[in-house]
Structure 1
Amino acid sequence: MQISRSDQGDQTTLHITGKLDVATASGCDALFGAVVAEGRKRVTLDLSGLEEIDSSGVAKVVSLYKRLKQLGGEFHLAGVGDQPLAIFRLLRFDALFPELK
C-alpha cells in the first residue's frame, strides 16, 4: 500500500493505492493522525488506485470518518473500484456515502 496527500486550500485529498489490509492498515495512522491534528475539515479519500480492502482497512476508513465528523468536518470517498465498492456496499456504506450509489 502507498498513501500520499495533496492539499489545495482547505481541501485535503488522500490517495491510497495497492491493498489496504491487516498487513498495511497501520501505515495510514501517521498521515490520518496528522490530517486530524491539523484540523483539516474537508477530506477526500481517493481510492482509485486501491485494489483490495479488508476489515482492517475498513476500520481505518471508518476511524478517519468519525474523527473528522467530531471536528465538524466533511469526508468523501472518490474513485472506489470493484472490490472495495462491493465491500462498502455489503457494509451499507452506500447509505452513508451517496457517492457510492
Structure 2
Amino acid sequence: MAMPTLSAPSAESRPYDADTTACFSVQANADPGVMSRVLELFAKRGLVPTSWHSRVGGIRGDELIIDLQMHGMVPSEAEFVAACLRQIPDVDSVLTSERFRAAAE
C-alpha cells in the first residue's frame, strides 16, 4: 500500500497581511536540536522566515537566543506559532511583537 504524501499548505490558502511582520524572540538552552525544531514550525506551514539571527550567550554561555521575523504573518497565526514554540523542549521563553509598514502618503 502506498504511503500518503503530505505537503505544506499553499501560500494562497493562508491568510496574509502585506503590512505586518511578526517578530519572535526565543530564549532556550543551547541544545543542538532547538534551532531545527523552531524552524520546523515554519517549514511545515510552507514558510521561510524573512529574517533569522541566532547566537549563544548568557552568563555561562549556555543560552541560545533566536530572533526571527516572518513578513505577512497575521496576528492569529503568529500567536498560534508562538504557543507552539513555547511547547518545544528546552525553550525557556518566547516573546512576540509586530512591525507595521508605514502607510504611504
Q: Same fold (TM over 0.5)?
A: no
Normalised to the residue count of structure 2, the TM-score between the two structures is 0.28
Normalised to the residue count of structure 1, the TM-score between the two structures is 0.29
Higher helix share: 1
